[in-house]
């Protein structure tokens, strides 16, 4: 598998599919709800379909994991490798005409539990973030690196709040409240893949969030690693397909952010790891 060649094909596919997002303001009839506040549009579904079919043609033995579903004929659940696809990360932004959403694609190695290839493309800004394992991270072909900020006082970080925040006491508010007292600023942009890409490019100094799906971070976590940063679970362990949360930052801030998040969670009786009981 030649990742350098493959990423070029993936970039063509992603940019072609993302053209559907440009100049499109979804109407009420095009928008439905998957949950109380979780939206999906006809454009999400159309982009999802284009990506699945095109990526399947690159290698018919690779499995597909996509937010808006995959046709049975394209599934290979026992395969070692899988394309992990978010057709439009930041759908709520897209619906409201906020041009901050992206196509996110990763090639994931299930055996090694790591992403090998990553692409995050925001067509509204004509920005395409790419990375391959041990090959560096790039924005529109130019190398990118995490920031060199060393103190929380000088750090701008991002976070998000899960769709279940109204009913789940593990709603990220404790971590948010603790960190906003310590950092220069906290941002909430509403697209996890771009938050991770912004950490990789040094625009943000850190990002954390729980309640995520695998397609939200499969590409972004590789970008951060390849840009010289760290991306882990809240206990400092590796981020996996099942984690559902992530903490990322440059190496200077990582230990400080990890400590703040863990202490904030423990202070209100939560396990360090979201979704786990306190005995773990």
Every domain of the chain and the residues it spans = 3-142, 152-267
Q: What pLDDT is recorded for position 266?
A: 94
- What is the CATH topology of the domain spanning 152-267? D-Maltodextrin-Binding Protein; domain 2 (3.40.190)
Contact indicator for 112, 183 with CB cutoff of 8 Å: no
Q: What is the mean pLDDT of residues 208-223?
A: 96
β-strand 230-232 against 185-187: which pairing, if any? unpaired
Residues 161-172 have pLDDT tens digits of: 876 656 666 788
Q: Please report which confidence band the pLDDT of residue 279 belongs to, taking 50, 70 and 90 as the band edges.
A: very low
Planar angle of CA 102, 186, 266, nearest 5 degrees: 105
Contact indicator for 18, 123 with CB cutoff of 8 Å: yes
pTM: 0.93
Indicate if the pLDDT at residue 250 is higher than 90.
yes
Least confident of 67-76, 106-115, 159-168: 159-168
Class in CATH terms, 3-142: alpha beta
Q: What pLDDT is recorded for position 247?
A: 98
């Amino acid at each position: 598998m030649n990742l350098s060649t493959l990423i070029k094909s993936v970039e063509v596919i992603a940019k072609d599919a993302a053209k559907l997002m440009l100049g499109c303001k979804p109407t009420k009839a095009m928008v439905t709800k998957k949950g109380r506040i979780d939206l999906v549009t006809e454009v999400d579904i159309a982009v999802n379909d284009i990506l699945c079919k095109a990526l399947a043609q690159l290698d018919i033995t690779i499995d597909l994991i996509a937010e808006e579903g995959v046709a049975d004929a394209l599934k290979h659940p026992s395969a070692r490798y899988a394309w992990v696809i978010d057709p439009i990360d930041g759908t709520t932004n897209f619906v409201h005409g906020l041009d901050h959403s992206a196509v996110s694609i990763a090639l994931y190695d299930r055996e090694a539990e790591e992403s090998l290839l990553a692409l995050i493309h925001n067509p509204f800004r004509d920005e395409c973030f790419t990375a391959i394992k041990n090959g560096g991270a790039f924005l529109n072909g130019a190398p990118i690196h995490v920031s060199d900020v060393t103190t929380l006082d000088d750090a701008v970080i991002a976070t998000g709040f899960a769709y279940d925040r109204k009913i789940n006491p593990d709603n990220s508010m404790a971590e948010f409240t603790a960190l906003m007292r310590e950092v220069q600023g906290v941002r909430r942009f509403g697209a996890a893949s771009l938050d991770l890409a912004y950490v990789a490019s040094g625009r943000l100094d850190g990002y954390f969030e729980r309640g995520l799906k695998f397609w939200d971070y499969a590409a972004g976590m590789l970008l951060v690693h390849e840009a010289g940063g760290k991306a882990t679970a809240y206990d400092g362990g590796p981020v996996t397909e099942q984690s559902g949360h992530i903490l990322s930052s440059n190496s200077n801030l990582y230990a400080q952010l990890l400590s703040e998040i863990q202490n904030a969670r423990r202070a209100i009786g939560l396990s360090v790891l979201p979704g786990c009981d306190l005995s773990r």
